[in-house]
Structure 1
């Protein structure tokens, strides 16, 4: 798959919303209420892509956005050394084609370049596909929970060890 990564802008809101809704519904629509692609959803993404402080990375194949990831400071818990992978989503038609891995690599690089020592992400407690992906990309369940146990935390070090590798 010919893939190009770039920063998102407000103009990408409709494409990002499309990927978000499709990924949500296919990935964990069985665990949560399905999302609808409508003006409200596009408006939400328009605000999020424009507002900061999260930096949003897009994966684009040809003219189509096929995935995105957001990075920034941890919102929960607040810790200046802790960066957060806010959201990572890939269009179901692009699953298992390396898009998620490329976005994850870009997100981790961005967190490191921003000076964070460690990363955190939150996912649904029973989302096995996500858990498998996060563990395959170096994240480990941290034992943290929120939202009455519906979400679990994963963490990983962002500090390079010998040879420039990050464990």
Structure 2
């Protein structure tokens, strides 16, 4: 993934996004190890379909259960709020795709960005 420039616009954007209350942070020994966020689907735009917006774990904390704990929290909240959820990931990202499959997501036939991104879905009811 490309490096993101942290500027005032991005800080304001993330402040608004995080303020909705559907974001969680994982800490290990006082350090932020990862974060996850959910909300209504943006693609397709559907307020009844949940979306795993972002899940990210800092590399030193990979394979220590941080991602699984974050996903468990996200899935619990998605299940409380939606009947089904979607996530988008890079088409050529086997590590992420394996993680999503392991945590109960199923790849769908949906793609975007000229096939560079693929969708996974998870039905709760």
TM-score, scaled relative to structure 1: 0.68
Residue 110 of structure 1 deviates from its aligned partner by 1.1
- 1:108 pairs, out of 72, 75, 82, with 75
**Bigger radius of gyration:** 1
Matches of 2:15 and 2:122 in 1, distance apart? 25
**Structure 1: gaps spanning 5 or more residues:** 1-23, 25-33, 160-167
- 1:151 pairs, out of 112, 117, 120, with 117
Matches of 1:144 and 1:47 in 2, distance apart? 27
Measured on the aligned residues, the alpha-carbon RMSD in Å equals 1.9
How many residue pairs get aligned? The number is 124
**Structure 2: gaps spanning 5 or more residues:** none
Do the aligned residues in 2 keep the contact of 1:54 with 1:72 (CA within 8 Å)?
Answer: no
Q: What is the aligned partner in structure 2 of residue 35 from structure 1? A: 3
Q: How do 1:89-128 residues align onto structure 2 when only pairs under 5 Å count?
A: 89-114=56-81, 116-128=82-94
Matches of 2:51 and 2:99 in 1, distance apart? 16
* Larger strand fraction of residues: 2
- 2:50 pairs, out of 83, 89, 92, with 83
